[in-house]
Structure formats: structure tokens, C-alpha cells
Copies of this chain bind each other. A is one copy, B any other.
């Protein structure tokens, strides 16, 4: 602490202990770790003798901006929410349920301490709102750097089931998705190129908010596993790119129905109109929706939250990939729509 603290202290004014004393109380009340923060490591239950683990870093300027061209200002809670949501989505995509996370923050000294409080609140809000009540925030690490970054590592339980991999899709399976397609990309375009945030109507604000606070359908992953999904993955880099990955991993082609894709695009007509953009490009190439792409065996009843968007066909000697209405699609063809 400096001799004359400002009313709004900055990270550089506080010791690591003082910062942790602000943060830890905000993380209480989630889940029930065997041992929570404060020792050299935390201990979390892994009831079926296995633990699912995934890690992901968000860096300012690369993965998010604090101030966007349209005037929207990402709050600490937005950044915390998104960091939690992205990682929870990876656990969801294995058909698993999150049990805990640890968080490593790198903070420039001029960061306001309340922004960090807010980030902790955003993590907790996401865990509660998205439906991961068994997920505790069990510990973390604070460090300084010139660039703000947040690394979340999340653990999960398969609850006795096998993990649902990308490699299990078979010809004849139904291709289905849970969650949004293209909304996060529409939101990103509005943040980068749209009218000022304050002037946006509710539907456009909602797209912006969805980009900043994605909403992975956390009930859908375990439901897909229970329903016998043959393959499952997180939709983070766009439907064609992720579909290509799943198709190659399985050695099959995911043949997507054009009408379902166009119906999805129609949902984005308002932001597309404002920006003069092609909403189908968002549906096919937009990332960060954090929905699920799944394949289900032919006779399956799709679990709640999933909608069919195509079918799995043989790779016909190729490495597998993705097609739209029977025509092979080039995921790289949509790269100019990517960030």
C-alpha cells in the first residue's frame, strides 16, 4: 500500500496478499472443494477416478478489447464470464460436468483493483448462470505483466461415462447442434464496425452481449453423452472449420443441410442489415458461439437442446471433412470473415 492510497486503488498499489484478500471472498459459496484456496495447491473430488482438464488463455488486444471501436467497454465481469464460459464449454464438449477451476491472472499495475473484483464476480456469475453449480474456483495465481491476461484451467467429471470424442462420427449419423450459430460473430462485427453501442436497439445489443458473455449450453453436453452421441465438440472457431476437424477426426464427411443453415442466417438479418454483411458467412465461419456440434447414431432421439442440421456421409477415399448440400466446403474459404 502506498502512503497516500487513491480512492480507487490500482493493482500496483496492492500486495499480492491484499489482492487475494479482495478476491477470495467473492469466490466463496461455489461447489464444495475438498481443499480450497490458500495452500500450495487445491484438492477437488474426482468421483469416478478420472478428471477431465482443459486450459485456455484470454489476452487483451488478442482475445478481447477493454474499449471497442463502437464505444462498448468490456467490464471485468465480461472478461471473467467469457474466460469461465469458454473453459466450461470444453468440459461440456466431452459430455462432462465441471467440478472446479483455477485461474491465473496477469495484471498491468495500472489496472484498477475494482476491475479485478469485477472479474472475480464475472467468473462466479457465469458459473451460476450457465448452470455449473458443482464447479468451485479452487485457487489461482496473480502476477504482473504489461498485458492483461486470464488463464482458466477447468476440471470436470465424466460421471462414470466414457468421454465423447471428435472421432466417433459414423456414416448414417445425424449431425446436430446445440446453441447459437453466428451470433457471437455478429456481435463482434457490431463491436468492431457497428454504430455506437449506445445507439443500438435490443436485438443488436443482445448480439454484442452474446459475444462478450457467450452462453454455452451446459446441460446439452452431458445430455448428448447420455443419449449416446457418437461425437461431440465445442463450436469455437466456426461451423465449417470445427465441422472439418470433426469430420477429419472421424474420417467422415459432415454434410450440412442448406435450409437449416439459411434459417439460422435469417435469425441474424437485423445485424446483417445494419452492417451490410452476409449473415450466412457468420453462421458458417463465425467463431466463439461455444455451442456444441454433435453426431448421433441413426435411431437416436436427439436430446433437448439439439437441432439436426445434416447427416454424416462416407469420406469416399478422402480424409473426411465438411460439405454443404453435398458439395465439399472449404473451411479456409471463410477465413476472410474471421478476425
Write the residues of chain A forming the contact surface with B, with a CB cutoff of 8 angstroms.
34-35, 38-57, 59, 61-63, 89-91, 93-94, 96, 100, 102-104, 106, 138-141, 143-147, 149, 151, 153, 155-156, 158, 163, 165-167, 232-234, 249
Q: CB within 8 A of A40: which of B35, B63, B93, B141?
A: B93
A146, B143: Cβ atoms closer than 8 Å: no
CB-CB under 8 A for A165 and B44, given A106-B57, A145-B147, A145-B149: no
Which B residues are in CB contact (< 8 Å) with A145?
A: 59, 61-62, 147, 149
Closest 9 CB pairs of A and B: A46-B46, A41-B54, A40-B93, A153-B153, A151-B151, A59-B145, A55-B102, A57-B104, A40-B90
CB-CB under 8 A for A42 and B63, given A104-B151, A151-B104: no
CB-CB under 8 A for A106 and B59, given A41-B96, A96-B41: yes
Which B residues are in CB contact (< 8 Å) with A94?
A: 39-41, 43
In the assembled complex, the Cα of A34 lies from the Cα of B158 at a distance in Å of 12
Q: Say how many copies of this protein the assembly contains.
A: 2
Query: A interface, by DSSP: helix, strand, loop or mixed?
Result: strand
CB-CB under 8 A for A52 and B46, given A145-B147, A147-B146: no
In the assembled complex, the Cα of A91 lies from the Cα of B39 at a distance in Å of 11
A96 (CB) vs chain B CBs: closest residue: B41
CB-CB under 8 A for A147 and B147, given A55-B102, A94-B41, A165-B39: yes
Interface centre among A39, A138, A146, A147 (most CB of B within 10 A): A39
B40, A45: Cβ atoms closer than 8 Å: no
B151, A57: Cβ atoms closer than 8 Å: yes
B59, A144: Cβ atoms closer than 8 Å: yes
In the assembled complex, the Cα of A59 lies from the Cα of B54 at a distance in Å of 21
CB-CB under 8 A for A93 and B41, given A147-B146, A153-B102: yes
In the assembled complex, the Cα of A56 lies from the Cα of B151 at a distance in Å of 9
In the assembled complex, the Cα of A44 lies from the Cα of B55 at a distance in Å of 14
Nearest Cβ on chain B to A120's Cβ, whole angstroms:
15
A35, B147: Cβ atoms closer than 8 Å: no
A233, B40: Cβ atoms closer than 8 Å: yes
CB-CB under 8 A for A51 and B43, given A61-B146, A141-B56, A141-B57: yes
Q: CB within 8 A of A54: which of B42, B46, B49, B156?
A: B42
Nearest Cβ on chain B to A211's Cβ, whole angstroms:
18
Q: What are 11 contact pairs spanning A and B, CB under 8 A?
A: A34-B163, A39-B94, A41-B91, A47-B49, A53-B100, A53-B155, A55-B140, A59-B143, A102-B153, A151-B153, A155-B155
CB-CB under 8 A for A153 and B55, given A39-B94, A41-B90, A61-B145: yes
Which B residues are in CB contact (< 8 Å) with A46?
A: 46, 49-51
A99 (CB) vs chain B CBs: closest residue: B51
Nearest Cβ on chain B to A318's Cβ, whole angstroms:
18
Which B residues are in CB contact (< 8 Å) with A144?
A: 59, 62
Nearest Cβ on chain B to A160's Cβ, whole angstroms:
12
A103 (CB) vs chain B CBs: closest residue: B55
